[in-house]
Structure 1
Amino acid sequence: MTVPERRGLTRRDYLRAVVAVGGASAISACLDERGEVDVPAGTNDPGSLPARQHAWNEFLETDDDGNVRPPEHHVLVALSLADDPAGENDGDSLEEATETVEESLRTLERAYEWSNDGLLFTVGYTPSYFDRFDGKLPETVDLPAPEALTDREDPAFDEFDALLHLASDHPEVVLRAEEALFGELETVNGEPVETDLTGVFDRLEERRRTGFVGPGLPAEHTDVDGVPDSVPEEAPFFMGFRSGFQESQATEDRVTIRDGPFASGATQQLSSLDIQLDVWFEQESHAQRVMKTFSPDHDEDQVGDIGEALEISNGLTDEQIDDTESDARNRGVVGHAQKAARAREDGEPIILRRDFNTVDGDTPGTHFLSLQREMDDFLSVREAMTGADLDVGIIQNNGILGYIFVGRRGNYLLPPRSHRALPTPSPD
């Protein structure tokens, strides 16, 4: 892909398109548009960084209500091992490759502050990666192969080795970080790049994914087929409402693996979804979208135009959650959040969502990324959200289920920072 022409695009839309393309020309386009941005440097002391790769929340900004505000720009880089250092139990080869990966990642941590104003990132490993080893993952790690979860799904699966998730408020930061990791830059934010991932990992360009999240960003994509003009001007997500409310998200503690060699890690699930936005906005009224997103008892005044009236909670009560089955039977409609909340434990959410919008493939969608202690937690939430047990009638009244379609799915282990570089099933 080539960098698009600036003509006719808003500034933020142009920068989003540049991130989607990637590469040196995209970095140059960012600099031409924004100039050089002062980005805070990182640290030479890896011990000052959290043990958890997924420890982002305390380093992110919050909105006016106190909800964590995710980074605006995201890149998902699919990785495949160039060689198999464990293929013949070659311990020296594995150790050398591990050191290369770790030093490459530390370069980014020296270059950029661990924050949305700098760079946040994780590296996760698929079940396919661990299958090459003789040993098995410990019982404290629940990492099944991805699968279709309903008879409406027929997704492709992420069966490469690893996935790098780069996130920042600055588009040039995610682009430069990616290029530095693959030997395309000599310095990154003033830090010399002396080691990179080439020779250990290959980038799978056809599996590279990008996205964005933030007020006003979805509405700037009405030039993309399937994105109607009726997307609310200030909505942070394509479907028109705020998300990620503090009390509707699991804590980072809740999604963290507690025991075993991968303690302080987590599991990650990634589903790439297409969204039927034209039907969602042009055939449904705002009141209907409110009901299907939250619950039949939610009204427009309670929610507001884009959920701005909701502060740190989606507004669901225990009674509304308990009434999900009767709402389906008697009222013929249930809310997405209402259904999913049935999977809570002791009233608390069990997954942490870090999803973001995308127009990969020039169609509107969402990369639904969730973190959880065990993959069973995601499966429980997905089963509740699917609502196969509910007598709704037509699928369009079953929350948002009739408007989203799963294209790809992958399951990953996010090891703790100490084992993030080419972990074996028994790293200790």
Structure 2
Amino acid sequence: MSNNDNDAFAERHQQGMSRREFLAETGRTLSMALASAGVFYELIDNLAQKPEQVAFAATQPLPPEQYIVPSTRIVNVTSAGVSGSGPDTIPVELHPLHNHIITAKIKVPANAKALQEAQHHLESVLQGLEQQFSPATSNGVTIQVAWGLPYFQHYIPSLGKSSSFFKAGTRYPEYMPVDLATSQKQKQKVYAVQEAMTFPSDHPPAGFGPVRLEQNDVVVILRSDSLDNIMAATNAIFGTGSNQAGSLFTVTSIRRGSTGGGFYGQQSIPSKVALAAKIPGAESIPPHAQVFLGFTTTLQANMAPDNIPSLETIPGQTDQWPNGYFKQGTTMHLSHLFEDLETWYGRGSQDFSAFPDRVRAMFRPGLSTASGTLTVNPPTELSDSNIAQDVQKYQAYGHSGSMQSIVRQTTPTTTNYGKTYPAGIAVSARGDFNTVDNPFHYSSDPTGNHFSTKPAAGMHFIIFQPTIGNFNRTRLAMDGYYPDGTVLKLSPRSHGAGINSVLFTTHRQNYLVPPRSHRSFPLAEFLA
């Protein structure tokens, strides 16, 4: 037992509970958490109108990239336009309504035989789910499996077999993808996946302690318009029957939430969930808002097209072209943060109660649009100097605007696959969603994670990009720190620093998302 378990046991022991009864109760708590979608999400799922289904032939092969959701739905939203430009028609990607994240430690002996058996077992379960829920779109269930650096460090210390990818004896981290662009900038070898770091504006809630830089071995992300499908997939992967894979893992957290649902004229799921959970400020969330903060986040113009986020697609990003083991994979950042809706919608000493102030904070100072507009084309051609000029003129900058010079290609891009994109394409794809869990639906370390049953407005943030170096530069730009050394003359948690003052980060971790062909215990086949 951990120290936290011992403390909890001591408390229960005073209530007359034996150690065996305490352990049984702990097990039931995890079992119940795995079996429950969460009372608010289950309630809302029965009321939500499902989006129009997208045709996807069952015989069509799944993309080799795990992070791509096949046949993503697109809805064209009519917007009022900005700064007098007139109405816009803005394409928006519709992500699955429900999202569940399960993090875990590996519960397998660190030897070749055990890991290779685990590799085959998990892959068999995953393939079975893909057959059961074919097609694997939002209509069924999409599955993404990503691996933290602790997995590679502890379970793949060196490779015992030669292959077309590696020499026998290659040790960690030499087999990991190399971030060529960041290595060139820093004049030393930097890998595509780095340990998570904190950022200038990171500021957990009072009493929470420092941001937790997590050390999970693996994370599984399940996404669907159907909670029933997600729960079936959860049971298959984390159940303990002979045809399930739960014996391979010790679950450390379960994170659940929803997004969208408001593009079809009905009240959105985030609005319904927040009201049902009696979240402070929930009554101010626009009824059709995709997320708690109101403005639509998955504009097609904001999302990297096709396989741009892959390690190998953009020339010069990593060393995975043309034949890397992790080719068609990507990197992923996962974090949790609380959102202060009362301040955002107007109940704080320095709030964003006026709609133009929220537009300024989310996009850029000087931008205007009709009151209540939720879907706004982002400013896409801003340079670092433009942002510095905004700070000088308005003593403020916008969240989206501050990152444009990092998240987009500044020149036309021809990929290693021969496809050409114009300047301004995004290089990352986000998959975040709101939650009312505090901070998680389940935690194996409730004390360390400050677990509470009291609902709270939050977001589980997920983003895929070719390298974590790219994410770090983007996140630093959000705080006013740029690669050329420019630092905006504004405190990164001030009222004028985008939306930073209403965000409270609690957890961070970076992951490697292998291609679909290597998603199950990557590199285990090379152990001897």
Which category describes the TM-score, using the shorter chain as reference length? 0.7 to 0.9
Q: What residue identity is the alignment partner of 1:305?
A: G
Q: What residue identity is the alignment partner of 2:61?
A: S
Tell me: CA distance 1:108–1:226, structure 2 relative to 1, closer, same or farther (3 Å). same
SS in 2 for 1:54: coil
Shift, 1:275, TM fit: 0.8
Q: Indicate the residue corresponding to 2:269 in structure 1.
A: 217
SS in 2 for 1:264: coil
CA distance in 1, matches of 2:257, 2:409: 31
SS in 2 for 1:253: coil
Once the two structures are superposed, what CA deviation does each residue of 1:112-153 show, in whole Å capped at 9, x if it has no partner?
121101111100000111111222233435111112122644
Tell me: CA distance 1:420–1:199, structure 2 relative to 1, closer, same or farther (3 Å). same
Tell me: CA distance 1:182–1:317, structure 2 relative to 1, closer, same or farther (3 Å). closer
Matched, 1:405 2:504: yes
Q: Indicate the residue corresponding to 1:183 in structure 2.
A: 239
CA distance in 2, matches of 1:245, 1:42: 22
Shift, 1:169, TM fit: 0.6
Shift, 1:227, TM fit: 3.4
Matched, 1:269 2:269: no
Q: How does 1:52-71 map to 2 (within 5 A)?
A: 52-56=65-69, 58-64=70-76, 65-71=90-96
Q: Indicate the residue corresponding to 1:278 in structure 2.
A: 342
CA distance in 2, matches of 1:59, 1:43: 10
Shift, 1:210, TM fit: 0.7
Tell me: CA distance 1:103–1:31, structure 2 relative to 1, closer, same or farther (3 Å). farther
CA distance in 2, matches of 1:228, 1:234: 13
Q: How does 1:186-335 map to 2 (within 5 A)?
A: 195-204=243-252, 207-214=253-260, 215=262, 216-220=268-272, 221-222=274-275, 223-258=277-312, 259=320, 260-282=324-346, 283-284=351-352, 285-301=354-370, 305-308=372-375, 310=376, 313-314=377-378, 316-318=379-381, 322-335=385-398
Matched, 1:148 2:148: no
My pick for the range that moved more, 215-224 or 288-297, is 215-224
CA distance in 2, matches of 1:77, 1:33: 20
Q: Indicate the residue corresponding to 2:474 in structure 1.
A: 381
Aligned pair count reads 384
Tell me: CA distance 1:359–1:34, structure 2 relative to 1, closer, same or farther (3 Å). closer
Tell me: CA distance 1:257–1:175, structure 2 relative to 1, closer, same or farther (3 Å). same
SS in 1 for 2:284: coil
TM-score in terms of structure 2 length: 0.67
State the identity %. 24
Matched, 1:396 2:495: yes
Shift, 1:31, TM fit: 11
Among 119, 124, 132, the alignment partner of 2:146 is: 124
**Any conservation in 2 of the 1:81–1:161 contact (CA below 8 Å)?**
yes
**Any conservation in 1 of the 2:33–2:254 contact (CA below 8 Å)?**
no
Matched, 1:363 2:456: yes
SS in 1 for 2:508: strand
**Any conservation in 1 of the 2:202–2:211 contact (CA below 8 Å)?**
no
Q: Indicate the residue corresponding to 1:91 in structure 2.
A: 112
Shift, 1:33, TM fit: 7.9
Q: What residue identity is the alignment partner of 1:183?
A: G
Tell me: CA distance 1:157–1:95, structure 2 relative to 1, closer, same or farther (3 Å). same
Shift, 1:91, TM fit: 2.3
Q: What residue identity is the alignment partner of 2:331?
A: T
**Any conservation in 2 of the 1:252–1:352 contact (CA below 8 Å)?**
no
**Any gaps of 5 or more consecutive residues in structure 1?**
1-20, 186-193
**Any conservation in 1 of the 2:383–2:404 contact (CA below 8 Å)?**
no
Higher-Rg structure is 2
- Aligned residues: CA RMSD: 3.0
CA distance in 1, matches of 2:524, 2:239: 29
**Any conservation in 1 of the 2:108–2:115 contact (CA below 8 Å)?**
no
CA distance in 1, matches of 2:388, 2:477: 11
Once the two structures are superposed, what CA deviation does each residue of 1:71-119 show, in whole Å capped at 9, x if it has no partner?
00000011211123xx2xx322222111001001111101112110111
Tell me: CA distance 1:383–1:27, structure 2 relative to 1, closer, same or farther (3 Å). closer
Among 219, 226, 229, the alignment partner of 1:170 is: 226
Once the two structures are superposed, what CA deviation does each residue of 1:325-383 show, in whole Å capped at 9, x if it has no partner?
01111211111011011213313322211111111111101111100111011011101
Q: Indicate the residue corresponding to 2:16 in structure 1.
A: none
Once the two structures are superposed, what CA deviation does each residue of 1:260-317 show, in whole Å capped at 9, x if it has no partner?
110000000011111111011013211100011011121122xx52423x3xx32x15
Among 154, 159, 172, the alignment partner of 2:215 is: 159
**Any gaps of 5 or more consecutive residues in structure 2?**
1-31, 77-89, 158-170, 179-190, 204-209, 263-267, 313-319, 411-423, 439-454, 482-486
Shift, 1:246, TM fit: 1.3
CA distance in 2, matches of 1:167, 1:63: 19
**Any conservation in 2 of the 1:234–1:306 contact (CA below 8 Å)?**
no
Once the two structures are superposed, what CA deviation does each residue of 1:191-245 show, in whole Å capped at 9, x if it has no partner?
xxx62112212222xx110111012222221343333311111111111111111
Tell me: CA distance 1:131–1:279, structure 2 relative to 1, closer, same or farther (3 Å). same
**Any conservation in 2 of the 1:22–1:175 contact (CA below 8 Å)?**
no
SS in 1 for 2:228: helix
**Any conservation in 1 of the 2:382–2:404 contact (CA below 8 Å)?**
no
